[in-house]
C-alpha cells in the first residue's frame, strides 16, 4: 500500500467527448499541463480544500487535498481496515450506511472483492493498468452523497466501539477523530461533485 492517490471531481460530459480508451489520458494530460494544469505550478495547497486548474480546462475538474494523509492511499486503505474491525459492533443504522459508503469508495468489503469503479465509462482492458482506484459516475455520486448525508449525523455513535475494537495508537487512522476526519473529507468530495452533477475519479501515482 505504498501508493499515492489523487482524488478529483470531473465533468463527465467533458470526458465523454472522447472514446472510453482515451478518457483517462485526457484527464491526465489536462492535470499535468505545464501552464494550465495543477502539477508543480507553485500555488499553495490547502489541506481539506479544493485546488482548481488554470486555463482552458479549468471548468472541467478539480483536485481535493485530504487532511493529514500526505497524499498517501494508506490512510484510505487503513480506514477500510478500521471499519472492518469495528462494523460488527456498530449501531445497525450506522453500519448499513457506512457499508454502502465505504464499499463505494475505499473498502474492499468482507470478501475483499468490492469494486470501486463503475463499469463501462473507462476502457475496460484487464491487461492494462491505468492506476485507477476509484471512478464513480454522477449517478453513483448522487447515491453515495445521499448516503453520506444520512449517516453523517450518526457517526458519534461509533466512538466507544471504535476505541474498544479498532483503535491502534500511532498507526494510520488509528484513532476515532482521524477516522471521522477522513470520512468528512470524502463527504466534501461527494457533496461538491453531486452539487455540480459531476463524477469522481481517484488515480494512483
SS3 sequence of 128-159: CCCCEEEEECHHHHHHHHHHHHHHHHHHHHHH
The model carries a pTM of 0.90
Q: How far apart, in Å, are the Cα atoms of 102 and each of 6, 195, 204?
A: 17, 20, 18
Per-residue pLDDT of 41-99, as tens digits, reads: 455 455 678 988 877 777 899 999 998 898 899 999 999 999 999 999 999 999 999 99
Per-residue pLDDT of 97-145, as tens digits, reads: 999 999 999 999 988 888 888 887 776 655 555 577 899 999 999 999 9
Rounded Cα distance between 159 and 39, Å, is 38
Neighbours of 56 (CB within 10 A): 10
197 vs 203, higher pLDDT: 197
Q: Could you tell me which of 183, 91, 201 has the C-alpha nearest to residue 145?
A: 183
Domain spans, the chain: 5-204
34 vs 1, higher pLDDT: 34
How does DSSP classify residue 90?
Answer: S
pLDDT at 44 (0 to 100): 47
Calculate the average pLDDT of the chain: 87
Per-residue pLDDT of 4-45, as tens digits, reads: 899 999 999 898 888 888 888 888 888 776 555 555 445 545
The radius of gyration of the chain from alpha carbons, rounded to an integer in Å, stands at 17
Amino acid at each position: 500500500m505504498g501508493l499515492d492517490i489523487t482524488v478529483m471531481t470531473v465533468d463527465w460530459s467533458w470526458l465523454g467527448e472522447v472514446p472510453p480508451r482515451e478518457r483517462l489520458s485526457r484527464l491526465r494530460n489536462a492535470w499535468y499541463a505545464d501552464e494550465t494544469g495543477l502539477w508543480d505550478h507553485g500555488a499553495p495547497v490547502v489541506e481539506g480544500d479544493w485546488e482548481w486548474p488554470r486555463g482552458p480546462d479549468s471548468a472541467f475538474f478539480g483536485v481535493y487535498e485530504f487532511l493529514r494523509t500526505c497524499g498517501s492511499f494508506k490512510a484510505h486503505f487503513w480506514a477500510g481496515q478500521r471499519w472492518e474491525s469495528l462494523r460488527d459492533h456498530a449501531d445497525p443504522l450506522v453500519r448499513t450506511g457506512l457499508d454502502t459508503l465505504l464499499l463505494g469508495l475505499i473498502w474492499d468489503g468482507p470478501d475483499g472483492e468490492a469494486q470501486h469503479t463503475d463499469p463501462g465509462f473507462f476502457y475496460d482492458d484487464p491487461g492494462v493498468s491505468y492506476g485507477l482506484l476509484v471512478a464513480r459516475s454522477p449517478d453513483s455520486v448522487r447515491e453515495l452523497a445521499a448516503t453520506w448525508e444520512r449517516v453523517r449525523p450518526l457517526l458519534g455513535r461509533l466512538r466507544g466501539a471504535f476505541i474498544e475494537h479498532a483503535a491502534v495508537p500511532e498507526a494510520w487512522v488509528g484513532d476515532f477523530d482521524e477516522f471521522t476526519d477522513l470520512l468528512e473529507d470524502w463527504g466534501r468530495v461527494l457533496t461538491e461533485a453531486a452539487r455540480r452533477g459531476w463524477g469522481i475519479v481517484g488515480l494512483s501515482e
